[in-house]
Amino acid sequence: MSPVILSAASAALVLDDSGPGLPRVRHFGAGLGPVDGPGLLPALASLGSAPPLLPAQGDGWYGRPGLSGVRDGEHWPVRWTVESMETGGGTAGGTAGGTAGGTVTVAAADDRAGLRLVSELVMDAGGLVSMRHTLTNTAASPYRVGGLVCALPVPGRAGELLDFTGRWALEKVPQRRAFGHGVWSRENRRGRTGHDGTGLLVAGTEGFGFRSGELWAVHAGWSGDHVHYAERVPEGAALIGAGELLDPGEVVLGEGESYTTPWVYFSWSGTGLDDASARLHGHLRARPLPVRPVTLNNWEATYFDHGLDRLLELADKAAAAGIERFVLDDGWFRHRRHDRAGLGDWYVDEGVWPGGLHPLADRVRKLGMQFGLWFEPEMVNPDSDLAREHPDWILGRAERMPPPQRNQQVLDLARPEAYAYLLERLDTLVGEYALDYIKWDHNRDIAEPVHDGAPGVHAQTLATYRLLDELRRRHPGLEIESCSSGGARIDYGILARTDRVWTSDSNDALDRQQIQRWTGLLVPPERLGAHVGAPRDHITGRMLPLAFRAATALFGHMGVEWDLTSAGEAELEELATWIALHKRLRPLLHAGRVVRADHPDPSALLHGVVLPERAVYAFVQLTSRVASGAEPLRLPGLDPEAVYEVRVAGPVPERALLPEWAGAPVRVAGSVLGELGLPAPALRPASALLVELERV
């Protein structure tokens, strides 16, 4: 048979279905041009063995198996027989360069093993590959799934790995290593994506950067326990893969029952990380969002102080600065005067709010702003009416509760009564206050989860998804933010159901520059919550100028988390200027292609967002420059054939020494801007200069 070819946006995936067993991925990488399927056969034959869609020892693969499991009773190693292979949009024997993506669905079975498999592959118009498997038990005895992952091969020239680690308030710290023999595995058992969750695992040619090198990236779209891994065997084959990480006995399939993996996403690039990132951004942008309102969150402004007069004054200041949404954070519900009580009691506290939240919500809307509210639905404080009335709703064994974290336990959402309670409370409050927005928090790792006597993360994650889906079905206009003590739940599983993520609990703009830079590989700017914090950061204690804090927040879904009632008139005027600039640039920032320069000076960053007719860049001086002379600003992503008018955008940083071009708009060819660049300004540490371009 002819190979099956999926191709889009200069990327291609070639499946060899000549058998025996499951199709083998012979190529995932650069588009192959106008070659037909039969013309690929000699080349495929010369490539030697390649792992099939679900690698196993019976296929000659002695690395990590794609499927692991055990049957209660007689055990048979699985050898698949393909029953059908359906394509849509892709080509069977067609050209390798002319199809705007497509789908492949492979159905296979092993009657001796009592299993059936359906594998799905989708290449979208941007060249991103999505993959998942569904396993069905066709025998009478139970089958215990140990693991089921999605993996694709990478070539031998992929000699370096990039992944990410982190902690609370400092997420997405990059780390690199050689891609040698064996397995490099990033396993997460926190019950949520995790502050140290890699998000992306990247294999690439040595020294790959944002704008150079060939690379292959993988992301597991799952909010529970998960694994990303890269493996190279001595026989020469290598692959990257990801999937859900299951505890023993967590998924047991009775006869006729099925388990479906999360979607796993694979992105290839021949020109560095930016191109792989753009393919991932395109997937999220396929679900359009409304205009992203500039948001004020009151948490770092007032914490648990919910005095109405203070909040009304804060709302007045926010509206005057141009803010478009007001979010009331933790502390509005019963018994919640501190973080040790009240979680789960989702009723407005009558003692603090005798008239309910209506006086605040009405003022906020009268000022022209939307109104939002904070929840942490999956959690409960032991000191709460809910926990006292329903201790059996806690996720764990009744005889021995899991260790508490942050004075809280986890509600078992897979328990129908707990799920129904939360849905009723959320639905009622969203309806009563006509909420525009929910900040949905998740502030602890899940330890020792037990549901109905079995490991509980899988069921808990699916129940959370169902709750989000149902709430959105009942309130189609409701926007939801995924917060998890900052960036501990950022993945495509949660982002399929929410509209933005809280990138980090740190509003320190210096740390945020790197956190947003690396989180932004996976998530586009309009979904990255980025707030202007107080002059002295509440977490690091660092003092930073408003111009730098605002320039950092401007390149995301901009917001404010600062007690504006304590700000002076000059500060409020400056903040209003930055908010107005963000609104003017918002159509560009939230639709354009994100670009990042491989700037040679480690003390500085250069990044931007580009549309065909417009672009904006930030040159960021993080720390003191060692060299006396600055590297030119080579602006990536521009059309070399175009001419651009270049000018400074926004306020100029204090005591900046600007080059001549910054004094008035100049016209420069895109080729010059990309190759020779602009003379760099001299900036103090913790400063940023914005440069705006328009095509002429």
Which sequence positions are flagged as catalytic? 441, 505
Contacts of 361 (CB under 8 A, 6+ apart): 371, 433, 434
Residue 268 marked ligand-binding: no
Instruction: Report phi then psi at 302, rounded to 5.
Output: -130, -15
**With contact defined as beta carbons under 8 Å apart, do 5 and 90 qualify?**
yes
Q: Tokens at residue 363, please?
A: 């003022």
Angstrom distance (rounded) from CA 595 to CA 607: 6
Nearest CA to 645 among 629, 660, 665? Answer: 665
Angstrom distance (rounded) from CA 340 to CA 333: 13
DSSP assigned state of 487: B
**With contact defined as beta carbons under 8 Å apart, do 655 and 607 qualify?**
no
Number of H helices, E strands in the chain: 13, 38
Residue 150 marked ligand-binding: no
Q: Tokens at residue 552, please?
A: 């950092």
Residue 329 marked ligand-binding: yes
Residue 330 marked ligand-binding: yes
Q: Tokens at residue 355, please?
A: 């008239």
Angstrom distance (rounded) from CA 220 to CA 228: 7
Contacts of 573 (CB under 8 A, 6+ apart): none
DSSP assigned state of 421: H
Instruction: Give the 3-state DSSP-derived string for 506-531, with helices as H, strands as E and coil as C.
Output: CCCHHHHHHHHHHHCCCCCHHHEEEE
Residue 441 marked ligand-binding: yes
Element (H, E) at 39: helix 37-46
Residue 505 marked ligand-binding: yes
Nearest CA to 635 among 611, 612, 618? Answer: 618
Q: What amino acid occupies position 120?
A: E
Element (H, E) at 478: none
Q: Tokens at residue 479, please?
A: 């926007």
Residue 483 marked ligand-binding: yes
The CA angle 572-575-576, to the nearest 5 degrees, is 85
Omega before 640 cis (within 30°)? no
Residue 76 marked ligand-binding: no
Angstrom distance (rounded) from CA 594 to CA 12: 23
CA 487 to centroid of chain Cα atoms:
9
Angstrom distance (rounded) from CA 84 to CA 526: 41
Q: Tokens at residue 461, please?
A: 């994650």
What is the DSSP secondary-structure string of 536-581? B-TTT--B--HHHHHHHHHTSEEEE-S-GGGS-HHHHHHHHHHHHH
Binding-site residues for substrate sit at 168, 329-330, 406, 439-443, 483, 505
